[in-house]
Structure 1
């Protein structure tokens, strides 16, 4: 999915006339509850206008580039893309539109989903979804908000207000998701649980098991460290890395000596002896082949972007 695809759909439905719906969602841990409010026709049009401005602004930003989704994060001048399957519980979140029930107070809203139907009524519904983390209006710690009604200013209850500013944390269409805010992606979807599943796939590889002594302790410590889980998820996304780790393990002692890593081997140097959590970073970085030496200047380096 490209930003132009999103822009064209928004241009087509500048006046949605009932095709735009919203969902207020509360997320507690990995559990969700949702409420679907009514949105007036005028407000639907205004929301589409704000989204158009946001997407156009991103399209016009020459410094903004799209990259594959990185579990460890993304740079300020990047947005990322992944498949809906990668997210894991994407279907659960989208299906909240079919199970919305009790009303939710604005202060309890975790995020808002806007759903725009983008095909003819005679066809099976096709939607584009816009996700936005809720920003609670608590900038006034003392005092209150006011609104002018019939030449008279009246007090508004701050905890009854919902902010819609046109900003977008994520947008999805068909089987693709674009993330403009990485941290919001984790807070909207259960990505941490997905990352944990991916990390387990790496750790359950027999070739990894045979290279780590005291493996069960190593596995438990890995799965209880969010940063290590992200690193293992990156390994899982490229299975060839495990192939390299296994096939070239004979070079591991040289890497450990060159970079003075906190890693020890058995007498045959055929496996790593895991002793404590302080070794997790060095071992998983070694598994990821993150340590390197340049050919031209013979410089040592570490591929350590957000790891």
Structure 2
């Protein structure tokens, strides 16, 4: 995503067509969004927040989304079409569906995130800025209030905060992930990881190179870090093929790195969860020896 160009477009725009949505996921998996009316002054402030936040990241290098995690000093890119539920979230903000009434205290406590939708023009369309909701819990004791025309007025403690940060930007068919953890939580990516991990495990199972596979599969799907690694492995499918074709090299790697994994009759013997990471790294070909210094190492990507 060309962040500098997006900043320029926002700065040049004078129409100030901005909407604010607060959203939560319901138990049945659908989304509900609330869209309060916002004044022109507040729209100006929201514009300042998003342009300033974009300016702060405009020089950072962008890399393709990695399920395992994001390196410091980088931001990630992703295709919003690959995010399960993204279209449902956008649909919940449509004019004929979005809820415009008051939000109860119970509902405020269930909100997951908010979205600032900035409409540029017909050519560029909408820019969506997502941020996790900041909630101000009720005081145990005391009163929160403000002065209005020299009167002290009590304020309901069920307050929502809009801070000067953004977690995700969606623009022109691209998604920019500034906060990796927020991305996972806003879009409930864990379920998607499980689906992708299962696809990867199905491919590995076909090779019949791991004993006690049902237990191996169950243990993989119960470990969040392993499901992330398997999700990434699905996009590196050729590594699974090479693991199968060059299986005779697996024993050598196990010996060099002194891994607690046995090979018998051309099959990896899976015994317990302590072997999960070593086995996934073997499949992903993450162990290496440098050409110059013969230095042994492990790909930090897993």
TM-score, normalised relative to structure 1: 0.87
1:214 paired residue number? 212
Provide the secondary structure at the position in 2 that maps to 1:213: coil
Deviates more, 1:187-196 or 1:25-34: 25-34
**1:62-141 correspondence to structure 2 within 5 Å:** 62=59, 64-98=60-94, 99-101=97-99, 103-104=102-103, 105=105, 106-120=108-122, 126-138=125-137
Provide the secondary structure at the position in 2 that maps to 1:245: helix
Contact 1:209 1:215 in 2 (8 A): no
1:12 paired residue number? 12
TM-score, normalised relative to structure 2: 0.89
In structure 2, what is the Cα distance between the partners aligned to 1:144 and 1:260?
Answer: 63
2:291 paired residue number? 295
Provide the secondary structure at the position in 1 that maps to 2:260: coil
1:107-127, CA deviations, whole angstroms, 9 ceiling, x for partnerless residues? 33210011122223xx8x931
In structure 1, what is the Cα distance between the partners aligned to 2:78 and 2:98?
Answer: 27
Instruction: Extract unaligned runs of 5+ from structure 1.
Output: none
Are 2:279 and 1:283 aligned?
yes
Provide the secondary structure at the position in 1 that maps to 2:24: strand
Provide the secondary structure at the position in 1 that maps to 2:72: coil
Describe the shift of the 1:292–1:142 C-alpha distance in structure 2 as closer, same or farther (beyond 3 A): farther
1:247-299, CA deviations, whole angstroms, 9 ceiling, x for partnerless residues? 221110011111111211123xx221222222111111111111111121111
Aligned residues: 295
In structure 2, what is the Cα distance between the partners aligned to 1:209 and 1:53?
Answer: 51
In structure 2, what is the Cα distance between the partners aligned to 1:75 and 1:145?
Answer: 41
1:221-258, CA deviations, whole angstroms, 9 ceiling, x for partnerless residues? 21221111000111112222212212221110011111
Please report how far the alpha carbon of residue 168 of structure 1 lies from its aligned counterpart in structure 2 after TM superposition.
0.4
Contact 2:207 2:244 in 1 (8 A): no
Contact 1:21 1:116 in 2 (8 A): yes
Please report how far the alpha carbon of residue 14 of structure 1 lies from its aligned counterpart in structure 2 after TM superposition.
4.5
Contact 1:15 1:45 in 2 (8 A): no
**1:146-295 correspondence to structure 2 within 5 Å:** 146-159=145-158, 161-205=159-203, 209-267=207-265, 270-295=266-291
1:33-70, CA deviations, whole angstroms, 9 ceiling, x for partnerless residues? 322222222211221122111111222xx5x3211111
Describe the shift of the 1:103–1:254 C-alpha distance in structure 2 as closer, same or farther (beyond 3 A): farther
Instruction: Extract unaligned runs of 5+ from structure 2.
Output: none
Query: What root-mean-square deviation, in Å, do the aligned CA atoms of Structure 1 and Structure 2 show?
Result: 2.3
Deviates more, 1:249-258 or 1:137-146: 137-146
In structure 2, what is the Cα distance between the partners aligned to 1:206 and 1:234?
Answer: 14
Describe the shift of the 1:141–1:57 C-alpha distance in structure 2 as closer, same or farther (beyond 3 A): farther
Provide the secondary structure at the position in 2 that maps to 1:158: coil
